[in-house]
Amino acid sequence: MSDTHAQSVAFVRHDSIPPSPPPATQAGAVKWMRENLFSTWLNAAMTIIAVYFIARLVGFAFPWFWNGVWDADTIKECREIVAAAGNTTGACFAVLVDRWDHLLFGFKYPQAEYWRPTLAFVLLIVAILPVLFSNHFPRKMLILTGLYPFIAFWLIWGGSLWVPLFILASIFLTMAVFRAVESMSVSMRTMLAAVVGVLSGLGLAYLLYSGATELWFISDSIGTADAFSTVASLVFKALSVFTYIFFIPMGIFVGYAIFNDAEDGGLVTLVTALAAIYLLLAYALGPVSSAINSIIPIELEAVPSRDMGGYMLSMILGVICVSLSIPLGILLALGRQSNMPLIKGVCVVFIEFIRGVPLITLLFVANVMLAYFMPPQSNFDLILRVIIMITMFSSAYIAEVIRGGLAALPKGQYEAADSLGLNYTQATRLIILPQALKISIPGIVNVAVGLFKDTTLVSVISMFDIVGMIRGPIQQSTDWISIYWEVYLFAAGVFFIVCFSISKYSQWLERQLATDHR
């Protein structure tokens, strides 16, 4: 049988036959279209309708783009060129060529200094790369990231180089103070907490007393000319009386809270560090930087904040406010979950109040009312006021996003930190926050994108960002009056590039960190 079987086998294959290619309808673009566009009769109908409307839109807009004029001095000349070419429609892109500098830098920023914000933008990309893609760039580049805010401040605003350098030195000294207090023994920290508590209580009581006096002054300034003024005046008087009553109890309560937290160490450490940086910036910044600059003068032409505008202003507000609102939002989220009633109460009131007020209202407050609460003859820069209000607004929303991340952590994570003998600051920094922030990435990015777009609201308080430039100096000029689509499409394009890039990066980061815990 074996011989017969061997003779019947003419050939034995030693390797497998290569797989046949799949049918054309089950691979490539055809498969994707069948699964996503024509999977059911309803999807097929919607696809056909969508393609029809897209084709109509492209057919309508394409001639407008194709016949666009790039070389003209006025909108009238643009239209004459389009008509001379025998076209019925055509875009006037010449406004972008003629006013590109105004759209990007505003109309007051010195033209000879355009290299400064341009260099600051290039350095921003270089400085942010090691933060966004830490696995692909050397960690030494983080030194540039830490130095960038001070370099950018000097490049954009100008003035003496020693001002940002002293601010940087103050931050290092504050970090040293923070570390020193954190590493103190309980007995020494208790003595420090007693001193800091007394000073903080007295300082808060003084601020509340001054605030009550200012509120009473505002109520008298409003007057009682009509019903609305009368009600507003009574409200400010009520707030003033409330503050007068509680300024001493609040000071005592804060001082006792700091002293009572000496064993844990988180509150006294933070308050001491904040006091250190306040003293350095309030009393040493001006004299020290001026003295050094008189010996070694390194200066650029100073540019007032009022002279900044265009897309540069939107980038400044977006980058600064997002960078500041994330750490402030973390502090608010931690404060809202604190066991100390005062800290928790302040954070809850702040978050709920800010989230209940429109951003445009806060911008009007920054433009008009904030100066009333400052000492007489104080020069509080408008762009700084706007940064404060936008940062407060976005930090309240980020705080709620991060609070959701903190609430999503299992209780065992907190218990594990306690079992390791970590104090509150160490447990929060090393165990709790890294996990909570990873969960909160989508929400934080959503707030950041919304905040970056909301920076265009500053145009309503006479700040000439890119939208303010379009609505003001460009559209109201005789050369480019009544021009709309070209400039607004340009503004939409530059905002879309930044926001879409942020969105795609967040999706990539979520995949890298595996935030779904698979």
Lowest mean pLDDT of 181-190, 222-231, 367-376, name the range: 367-376
Q: What is the pLDDT of residue 518?
A: 47
DSSP character at residue 431: I
Q: For residue 70, give both structure tokens.
A: 């790039």
517, pLDDT greater than 60: no
User: Measured between alpha carbons, how far is 182 from 193 in angstroms, rounded to an integer?
Assistant: 12
User: Measured between alpha carbons, how far is 487 from 75 in angstroms, rounded to an integer?
Assistant: 12
109, pLDDT greater than 70: yes
Rounded average pLDDT over 460-471: 84
Confidence of residue 511 (pLDDT cuts 50, 70, 90): confident
Is 128 or 210 the better-scoring residue by pLDDT? 128
Q: Residues 155, 156, 159, 163: is their CA dihedral positive or negative?
A: negative
For the chain, list the domains and their CATH numbers: 92-109+311-518 (1.10.3720.10), 160-300 (no CATH)
Q: What is the pLDDT of residue 377?
A: 58
Q: What is the pLDDT of residue 230?
A: 78
Distances from the Cα of 148 to the Cαs of 27, 325, 499, in angstroms?
49, 18, 22
* HEC secondary structure over 20-54: CCCCHHHCHHHHHHHHHCCCCHHHHHHHHHHHHHH
Q: For 423, phi and psi rounded to 5 degrees?
A: -80, 180
- Residues 37-45: contacts with CB within 8 Å, 24+ apart? none
Amino acid (one-letter) located at 80: E
Helices (H), 266-381: 266-279, 285-295, 310-336, 341-355, 359-364
User: Measured between alpha carbons, how far is 436 from 513 in angstroms, rounded to an integer?
Assistant: 12
Q: What is the pLDDT of residue 119?
A: 92
Contact assessment for residue 310 and residue 105, using Cβ atoms and an 8 Å cutoff: yes
Amino acid (one-letter) located at 493: G
The predicted-structure confidence for 371-388, as pLDDT tens digits, reads as follows: 666 655 556 778 888 888
Is the pTM of the predicted complex or chain greater than 0.85?
Answer: no
